[in-house]
């Protein structure tokens, strides 16, 4: 259970590091699964040209990855923060990242829709070794938009909003240092970046996306449905494959059934 301070910190700053959230055994399992799948992950040279690889989605590739979706300690932390369940809304990517990820915010700066990601890393990380850098508090819509108005641009019509600032000296930036087993929970409206590791090794990272259950908030419900529909497509036809549903336990069934009750389409493969 998160402390009141941690919940308060998340609300004020937009992130919390769940220290030691995953057991040593879970981390070992993830490392093994990662090394098994990464050789087949496609190249992705959007940020640079350094043979970065990404598997998107990745949760279907190994049961140990899929188990991260409903990890009890992660679900509990999100419940502590939002006072309701968070729902997996598709959006899962696994990286061997050899590039700098530029400063950006996920989505339109100033948006009210709440998205939350978990970041899971397989190596110890700090500013020089791939840590997620954030501007604390920049998930607040007005602050997020103000930063964009002062320093932002779109690299292309479809890219995420970025910052023109020198990436190393962005005012207020904070690297979120982690050790394997820690999970970073963060609001995707935060302005964030990550630098390539100075030791030349790839950043071994996994990200999974959620939104809080909208309950009776019709605008939040519409945002949730739109988010899922925008992420489903050629690469992924359903949130859950038949196999993932067959292998998942009651927590997976409950989350899938809740999405269906909310009118989300293509939740599970029939």
Ligand X SMILES: O=C(O)CCC(=O)C(=O)O
Binding site for ligand X (CB under 6 A): 97, 101, 106, 117, 132, 192, 194, 203, 205, 207
Terminal CA-to-CA distance of the chain, rounded, Å? 36
Give me the helices (H) in 14-71, please: 24-37, 63-69
Closest CB to ligand X among 145 and 205?
205
For the bound state, the minimum distance from the C-beta of residue 205 to ligand X, rounded and expressed in Å, comes to: 5
Closest CB to ligand X among 97 and 236?
97
Closest CB to ligand X among 201 and 242?
201
For the bound state, the minimum distance from the C-beta of residue 160 to ligand X, rounded and expressed in Å, comes to: 8
Strand ranges (DSSP E) for the chain? 15-18, 53-55, 86-97, 101-104, 116-121, 132-134, 152-154, 161-163, 174-176, 183-187, 192-194, 203-212
For the bound state, the minimum distance from the C-beta of residue 249 to ligand X, rounded and expressed in Å, comes to: 27
Structural tokens at position 136: 């604390």
Closest CB to ligand X among 207 and 267?
207
Number of Cβ within a 10 Å radius of residue 201:
13
For the bound state, the minimum distance from the C-beta of residue 117 to ligand X, rounded and expressed in Å, comes to: 6
For the bound state, the minimum distance from the C-beta of residue 47 to ligand X, rounded and expressed in Å, comes to: 8
* Cα–Cα distance measured from residue 204 to residue 53, given in angstroms and rounded to the nearest whole number: 10
Closest CB to ligand X among 125 and 268?
125
């Amino acid at each position: 259970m998160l402390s009141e301070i941690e919940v308060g910190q998340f609300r004020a700053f937009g992130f919390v590091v769940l220290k030691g959230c995953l057991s040593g055994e879970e981390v070992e399992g993830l490392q093994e699964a990662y090394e098994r799948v990464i050789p087949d992950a496609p190249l992705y040279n959007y940020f640079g040209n350094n043979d970065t690889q990404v598997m998107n989605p990745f949760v279907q590739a190994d049961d140990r990855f899929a188990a991260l979706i409903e990890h009890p300690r992660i679900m509990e932390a999100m419940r502590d923060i939002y006072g309701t369940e968070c729902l997996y809304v598709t959006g899962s990517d696994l990286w061997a990242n050899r590039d700098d990820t530029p400063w950006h915010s996920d989505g339109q700066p100033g948006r009210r829709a709440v998205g939350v990601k978990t970041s899971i890393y397989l190596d110890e990380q700090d500013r020089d070794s791939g840590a997620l850098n954030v501007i604390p508090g920049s998930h607040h819509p007005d602050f997020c938009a103000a930063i964009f108005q002062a320093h932002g641009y779109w690299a292309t019509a479809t890219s995420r909003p970025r910052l023109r600032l020198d990436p190393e000296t962005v005012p207020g930036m904070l690297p979120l240092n982690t050790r394997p087993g820690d999970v970073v929970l963060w609001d995707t409206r935060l302005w964030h970046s990550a630098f390539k590791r100075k030791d030349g090794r790839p950043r071994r990272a996994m990200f999974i996306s959620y939104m809080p259950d909208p309950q009776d908030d019709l605008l939040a419900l519409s945002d949730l449905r739109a988010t899922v529909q925008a992420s489903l497509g050629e690469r992924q036809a359903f949130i859950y494959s038949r196999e993932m549903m067959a292998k998942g336990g009651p927590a997976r069934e409950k989350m899938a059934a809740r999405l269906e009750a909310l009118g989300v389409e293509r939740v599970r493969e029939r």
